[in-house]
């Protein structure tokens, strides 16, 4: 398979200045895409990433500030990327996904709105905004980032939102085919983010590894490479699928 299969294509990755989003942006660029790196508050990280991508690939990339919990900013984000690249967006990765495990009985409405809007509403709206251009061009790839939390029932609004991402993926796949494929990845706990989850639950990582058939956590690179693989031309027959990248964490025995 061609390593530069995204040559001439454009990609937009939300929440891409750091962590998993940054690795996804980097891998898309390494396979030929020009990448729009969305960020909200991490301007320096986004700038540094774009400079790295330009130096590494010799192609134009850019960073775009937008708070994806706000509809008008998502519209501005997509419009800015389209105008900067001079055409439609070919690849959209809906990566934004703030976490919460505040119990529903205690969950403030504002926290519900923040997690739901950044995860689900942003994915719906960004997908809607790029869909027309993709269909007119006759080709497009949308990849939504869910999470293994969709199988858990103590991750509150986050688990609900990540389950909703799977349903949204399937519905969009039905609506946007055959020109556009819509798939999702559902990462388990990511190795490089272990310290982040420890702030919520210090025992989670140890218990997660013990419950994972692979006996380890997955890495950002592993997840990003699955995202990129879903964007290959050869994957046109794969749509409406959620790929678990979790080392088997979702599997339960009794």
Ordered structural domains, the chain, with CATH: 10-188+219-245 (3.40.50.720)
How far is residue 198 from each of residues 174, 207, 231, 242, measured CA to CA in Å? 38, 11, 32, 26
What global pTM score does this model have?
A: 0.97
* Mean pLDDT value across the chain: 96
pLDDT given at position 200: 87
> What band does 2 get if pLDDT is binned at 50, 70 and 90?
low
Mean pLDDT, rounded, for 19-23: 98
Of the candidates 39, 124, 150, 158, the residue annotated as catalytic is 158
How far is residue 112 from each of residues 18, 145, 243, measured CA to CA in Å? 23, 18, 26
Q: Is 150 a catalytic residue?
A: no
């Amino acid at each position: 398979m061609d390593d530069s299969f995204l040559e001439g294509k454009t990609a937009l990755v939300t929440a891409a200045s750091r962590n998993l989003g940054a690795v996804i942006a980097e891998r898309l660029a390494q396979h030929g895409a020009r990448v729009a790196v969305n960020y909200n508050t991490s301007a320096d990280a986004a700038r540094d990433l774009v400079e790295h991508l330009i130096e590494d690939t010799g192609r134009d990339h850019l960073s775009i500030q937008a708070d994806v919990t706000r509809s008008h900013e998502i519209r501005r984000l997509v419009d800015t990327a389209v105008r900067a690249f001079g055409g439609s967006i070919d690849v959209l990765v809906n990566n934004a996904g703030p976490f919460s495990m505040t119990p529903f009985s205690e969950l403030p409405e504002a926290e519900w709105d923040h997690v739901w809007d950044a995860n689900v509403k942003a994915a719906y709206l960004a997908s809607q905004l790029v869909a027309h251009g993709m269909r007119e061009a006759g080709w497009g790839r949308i990849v939504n980032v869910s999470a293994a939390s969709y199988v858990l029932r103590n991750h509150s609004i986050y688990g609900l939102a990540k389950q909703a991402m799977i349903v949204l993926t399937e519905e969009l796949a039905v609506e946007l085919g055959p020109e556009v494929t819509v798939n999702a990845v559902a990462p388990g706990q990511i190795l490089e983010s272990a310290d982040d989850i420890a702030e919520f639950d210090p025992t989670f990582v140890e218990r997660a590894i013990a419950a994972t058939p692979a006996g380890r956590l997955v890495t950002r690179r592993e997840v990003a490479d699955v995202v990129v693989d879903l964007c290959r031309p050869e994957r046109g027959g794969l749509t409406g699928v959620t790929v678990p990248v979790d080392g088997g964490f979702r599997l339960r025995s009794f």
